[in-house]
A and B are shown apart, each in its own frame.
Chain A
Amino acid sequence: MTGDTSQTSNTGNRRELVENILGNLLSAGVISSVAIILIGLVLLFIQHPEYLGGELRADQITATGEGYPHHPMAVVKGAFRLEAPAVIMLGLLLLISTPVLRVITSIAAFALQRDWIFSAITTIVLLILIVAFWLGKA
């Protein structure tokens, strides 16, 4: 870790490369999740045209009657059956996961640069995010 005391142009270029990769990852995540949400909204209007101008709650229209899916597996299963709330939820989940993917990519990028302190900091952030997903379920 004590090797690079000055910013050489080589590390500068690498830093730039990492920033471009992270930027592209973020835009790809947002664009694809918004596309899925929009598909879900169109499906919703086809399946339940009455919702276009009306109520804002999903509870009444899910097949099980016990509210919209909020477990990842239930979301994926529902989305495969093209149930509109599940498709929208899949897009929302992808959106929530986009920063998580960004964090994972950063860990790899810092490790490749042999920047161990930042690899460690970013790994801590990832662990906190994993705890968040796990904690909410309990």
Chain B
Amino acid sequence: MLMAFAGSTVAGLVGSLLGLGGGLIVVPMLTLLLGVHDIKYAIGASIVSVIATSSGAGASYVKSHIANIRVGMFLEPSTTLAAILGAFVTGFLDDRVLYVLFGCLMAATAVAMSRQKEGHQRPLRPDPIADRLALHGGYHDPATGKDVTYRVCRSRFGFIVSGFAGLVSGLLGVGGGIMKVPIMSLAMDMPMKSATATSNFMMGTTAAASAAVYFARGDIDPLIAGPVATGVLLGATVGSRMLRKIEARSLKLAFMAVLLVVAVQMLLKGVRG
């Protein structure tokens, strides 16, 4: 129990330093290290911790106006509906399939992290939906002292593709930020900071939809999810305070290596049963 709390704290800390949710770390930690036999309990605990960090981080992003809540809410019907579908499907899948899927997601995340870069400027496309719904936004950036304003485009494409992020979130108990941030920054032309903050803000609602399904099915064990949720939140809170002080680059490289190694272990566990 104390191990789960301590491990989750580390997961939340590392996750927030790298801009990932804790979920990608929590599930392998519970199944590979702490002997949680049923991966569904690990996923159930993870999805609750996603709600905790999203709501905690979302609160400060919303108050500082960096998160674009209109874009977030515009995409939520798509992500929540897909998340329910994902959570529902998990109930029917064999544990070994879930291990394999999770291993694939970790490997894909490592690859995505190695390519991650700032959103480059693309020609702006007029987007009547974004105009009509007033999705465009702006915020005051305390780091540069400047006011940033931006226009949102390709909102219909973003709406459809966000569903995939929701599906993966519900299926495997992760936040899905690794998919949502590129959708918002690269396709919808939002600044990286807004995309990250909005992704965090949305995650809680998406995760609540699938957590409800996990709860009702009995896949949320209080003795696992309790220490995990509090631990991840503690770690993420400390991590967000440290963020400006440390150099995240070396940490990122080390984490990519760990991610690949653990991905292989998850795949092996799935294949061997």
Residues of A within 8 A of B224 (CB): 56-58
Q: Are B213 and A135 in contact (CB under 8 A)?
A: yes
Q: How far is the CB of A64 from chain B (nearest CB, A)?
A: 13
Q: How far is the CB of A47 from chain B (nearest CB, A)?
A: 12
The interface size bin for chain A is: 35 or more
Q: Are A102 and B205 in contact (CB under 8 A)?
A: yes
B65 close to A (CB within 8 Å): yes
Q: Are A102 and B222 in contact (CB under 8 A)?
A: no
Q: How far is the CB of B41 from chain A (nearest CB, A)?
A: 8
Residues of B within 8 A of A54 (CB): 1
Where chain B touches its partner, the secondary structure class is helix
Q: Which chain A residue shows the least CB distance to B233?
A: A34
B246 close to A (CB within 8 Å): no
Contact among B4, B63, B88 with A23 in the assembled complex (CB-CB below 8 Å): B63
Residues of A within 8 A of B217 (CB): 70, 136
B210 close to A (CB within 8 Å): yes
Contact among A29, A91, A103, A128 with B84 in the assembled complex (CB-CB below 8 Å): A128
Q: Are B229 and A34 in contact (CB under 8 A)?
A: yes
Contact among B1, B48, B216, B230 with A51 in the assembled complex (CB-CB below 8 Å): B1
Contact among B36, B59, B76 with A27 in the assembled complex (CB-CB below 8 Å): B59
Q: How far is the CB of B42 from chain A (nearest CB, A)?
A: 10
Q: How far is the CB of B202 from chain A (nearest CB, A)?
A: 9
0/1 interface trace, chain A 111-128, chain B, CB 8 Å (1 if under): 000000110011011001
Number of cross-chain contacts by CB at 8 Å: 185
Residues of B within 8 A of A82 (CB): none
Q: Are B62 and A136 in contact (CB under 8 A)?
A: no
Q: Are B204 and A102 in contact (CB under 8 A)?
A: yes
Interface residues in B218-248 by Cβ distance below 8 A to A read 218, 220-227, 229-230, 233
B211 close to A (CB within 8 Å): yes
Known contacts A125-B80, A135-B84, A136-B214; decide if A89 and B63 are in contact (CB<8 Å): no
Q: Which chain A residue shows the least CB distance to B133?
A: A117
Known contacts A30-B55, A125-B76; decide if A53 and B205 are in contact (CB<8 Å): no
Q: Are B84 and A131 in contact (CB under 8 A)?
A: yes
Which of these binds chain A: B12-20, B66-74, B262-270?
B66-74
Q: Are B77 and A95 in contact (CB under 8 A)?
A: no
0/1 interface trace, chain A 41-71, chain B, CB 8 Å (1 if under): 1001000000111101110000000011011
B34 close to A (CB within 8 Å): yes
B28 close to A (CB within 8 Å): no
B179 close to A (CB within 8 Å): no
Q: How far is the CB of A97 from chain B (nearest CB, A)?
A: 8
Contact among B63, B205, B218, B223 with A57 in the assembled complex (CB-CB below 8 Å): B223
Contact among A30, A99, A118 with B233 in the assembled complex (CB-CB below 8 Å): A30
Contact among B62, B81, B215 with A128 in the assembled complex (CB-CB below 8 Å): B81
0/1 interface trace, chain A 64-105, chain B, CB 8 Å (1 if under): 000110110000000000000110110111011111101100
Residues of A within 8 A of B2 (CB): 52-53
With most chain B CB atoms within 10 A of its CB, the pick from A19, A86, A128, A129 is: A128
Q: How far is the CB of A85 from chain B (nearest CB, A)?
A: 5
Top 8 closest A-B pairs, CB basis? A136-B216, A88-B222, A23-B63, A26-B59, A136-B213, A27-B59, A88-B226, A23-B62
Interface residues, chain A, with chain B CB atoms under 8 Å away: 7, 16, 18-20, 22-24, 26-27, 29-30, 33-34, 37-38, 40-41, 44, 51-54, 56-58, 67-68, 70-71, 85-86, 88-89, 91-93, 95-100, 102-103, 106, 117-118, 121-122, 124-125, 128-129, 131-133, 135-137
Interface residues, chain B, with chain A CB atoms under 8 Å away: 1-4, 30, 34-36, 48, 51-52, 54-56, 58-60, 62-63, 65, 69-70, 73-74, 76-77, 80-81, 84, 87-88, 132-134, 204-205, 207-218, 220-227, 229-230, 233
